[in-house]
Structure 1
Amino acid sequence: MESGPTELAATIQAASIEHNPDAKLDTNPRTAADKRQPMTLEQDDGIDEDDDEEEDIPYSVLRPAPRHSNLPPLPDLRFEQSYLRSISKADTWWKVALITTRDQILMPLTQGLAYNLFLCGWQHWNRNAQLHGNTVGARVRRWWWGVNNWHIPTHRKRA
């Protein structure tokens, strides 16, 4: 059995291998070793002279193009597709009108009504919720107010 650091290094190295390399991004830049040239000796007279013949490093080598993630295509979430699928079974105009009324008017109205009733009930419950007491709900509310740094109002006794 290998040591822990060696196994960790092997795991990291194996995880970083690109199994589907991109030819544009993963090839090395061209070098002088790519083609054979006969050797020529040039005599350098001055050591401190500037060489104007030196080439700059290409920008594509310094800042390579970012890799694009290979994500699957996004699903079609437009409501038109489901609407067209539901009216494809309708054989008369009144069935199309009924499906349209159901999908475009009744369902959004029902969803909005349910959401609004939930919010109104939540606000009513919060308005009547007590911060003082020994119940679990009161403890949770005091904790939540403390986490958010809200001022906990003083307890007023009812007369």
Structure 2
Amino acid sequence: MDSGPGTIASTLQGASIKRHPSPRHDLNPSTAASEKLPVILDTHPDPDADSDIAEDEIPISVLNPVPRKQNMPPLPDLRFEQSYLKSIEQAESWQSVLWITVKDQIIFCFAQGVLWTLLLSGWRHWNRSAKFSGQGVGAKIRRWWWGVNNWKVPAGKSKLRDTKLAKNVSEAY
């Protein structure tokens, strides 16, 4: 048995649907955006016609023009629904839909996580074993970063032959 408000709502909704709309009476009225008109610019405008500015004044908009903004390229559609629907578009049965779903949402995500973890682990291992006594840009940046953070630079075998120079360099960083 239907409730009173539910019956009223369904009656109103059913009554508002036009079963046979008329294109002449039921279309939206035209607006300014409905038709495109070309812009016609006056090639030689009269400067004195509509000007509030005296002849000896220069408008600020001429002196300080507004810089143009860079136009960004359109953003790609990264929504899950669109890519998933594209993936299952050629599926012929529910088993193939299930396989595509498991592959895209479980197997690929797992593989991506494993590869990312291996990459980070390799980076940490390489970074941990990197030398601080090198002369390359990376070693100089590393020594600077450790100095900024007041970390103790690990003492290792110095490849510099002049110990006095090495002491001065370590004091500078």
State the TM-score, normalizing by the size of structure 2: 0.44
State the TM-score, normalizing by the size of structure 1: 0.47
